[in-house]
Structure formats: structure tokens, C-alpha cells
């Protein structure tokens, strides 16, 4: 297993030639005794066992809404304009889509059939949800589970933007 320090180095994009590193370790530990050589070898082997994972991950980090905001038309052939916040869209090895979407006045997410389970959570505003042919009003604090094969759409209502979180599984991006 890589140490916190070696993972940070690798995650920061450092590239280390394993052969050169082993040569340097061998030279620097000749005078330090066999135990230190064994410990350093274990560190190197453990670090390189996780090199691919560490190099393609940006470990825990923060993204700001202003940095990821994208103006878009209503998704799934919906009406009006929306603002999407695709948080962690470029996080390698992360298999969860976590997005915020603001549906501005008069906008909607068009009716569509899901190819995966999906959750909407209403942060603020009011809307009208169509879920498998049934209509209902939604407001802040409501959570909506749409299952694979389900049909749904969402329309903003009132003067305030309808702001939702959208969470669903996605194919993890490889390095």
C-alpha cells in the first residue's frame, strides 16, 4: 500500500522511473544496513502496486459551483434554459454522477425513459413532476426516485428557480 506521502506525489503527477528509483535506493542504503533496505523496498513495491490508481486519482478535493456552471437548454428536449453544475465530472475512477441543475422560469426537463436508477432532490423552488404517467407537485425537501425503465419529466413552476440535485451511477472514467 502506498504511503500518504507517496500517493500525494503520484496524484500530483510526479512520474518516477522504478528502475532508477531502485538503483538510487540501493546506493543510498548500502551503508544503512539490510533492515532499512527491506523497509525501503517494501515501500517502493507497495507504492508501485498502487501507482496506476494513485496517478489517475485526484484525491479528495472541492469544486465550486461557479467553476463548473454551464448554461444549457432544458435536458431531454425540455423547454427554456437551465444551468447545470456537473460536479466531479472529470474525477477518474469516480462512478457516481452528482449534479445540481437550476431550472429557470418556464424551463423543464423533457419526458424521457431512464436507462438507470436516478434520484432528484429538490433544494429550492417548486415544480410539477410527471412520473410514470402520474403528476404531482414537488417542492424543497422532496426526493424523487426514478427507477430504470421509468418515464419522467419535471417542469419549473412559480417565480423562483427550481433547483435540484441529480444523482445516478455512471461508468467510471479510466485513467
Mean pLDDT for all residues in the chain = 79
pLDDT of residue 4: 46
pTM: 0.66
Q: Are 171 and 91 in contact (CB under 8 A)?
A: no
pLDDT of residue 92: 84
Q: Which of 90-104, 114-128, 161-175 has the lowest mean pLDDT?
A: 161-175
**What mean pLDDT is predicted for residues 139-150?**
97
Question: 42-58 pLDDT, tens per residue?
Answer: 444 444 444 444 455 55
Please tell me the number of Cα atoms within 13 Å of 127 on its side-chain side. Answer: 33
**Cell numbers 403528476 correspond to what residue?**
135
pLDDT of residue 130: 98
What SS3 state is found at 54? helix
pLDDT of residue 144: 98
C-alpha angle with apex 123: 122 to 127, nearest 5 degrees?
A: 45
Q: In this model, does residue 14 exceed pLDDT 90?
A: no
pLDDT of residue 31: 52
Domains of the chain as residue ranges with CATH: 4-56 (no CATH), 65-169 (2.60.120.10)
Give CA separation, 154 vs 42, 72, 118, in Å.
55, 15, 13
pLDDT of residue 17: 47
Amino acid at each position: 500500500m502506498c504511503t500518504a506521502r507517496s500517493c500525494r506525489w503520484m496524484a500530483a503527477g510526479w512520474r518516477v522511473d522504478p528502475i532508477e528509483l531502485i538503483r538510487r535506493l540501493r546506493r543510498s542504503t548500502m551503508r544503512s544496513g539490510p533492515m532499512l533496505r527491506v523497509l525501503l523496498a517494501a515501500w517502493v513495491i507497495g507504492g508501485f502496486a498502487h501507482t496506476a490508481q494513485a496517478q489517475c486519482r485526484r484525491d479528495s478535493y472541492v469544486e465550486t459551483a461557479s467553476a463548473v456552471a454551464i448554461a444549457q437548454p432544458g435536458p431531454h428536449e425540455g423547454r427554456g434554459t437551465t444551468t447545470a453544475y456537473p460536479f466531479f465530472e472529470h474525477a477518474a475512477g469516480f462512478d457516481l454522477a452528482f449534479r445540481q441543475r437550476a431550472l429557470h422560469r418556464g424551463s423543464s426537463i423533457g419526458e424521457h425513459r431512464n436507462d438507470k436508477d436516478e434520484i432528484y432532490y429538490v433544494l429550492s423552488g417548486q415544480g410539477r413532476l410527471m412520473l410514470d404517467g402520474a403528476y404531482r407537485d414537488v417542492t424543497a425537501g422532496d426526493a424523487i426516485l426514478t427507477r430504470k425503465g421509468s418515464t419522467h419529466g419535471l417542469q419549473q413552476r412559480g417565480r423562483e428557480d427550481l433547483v435540484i440535485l441529480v444523482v445516478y451511477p455512471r461508468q467510471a472514467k479510466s485513467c
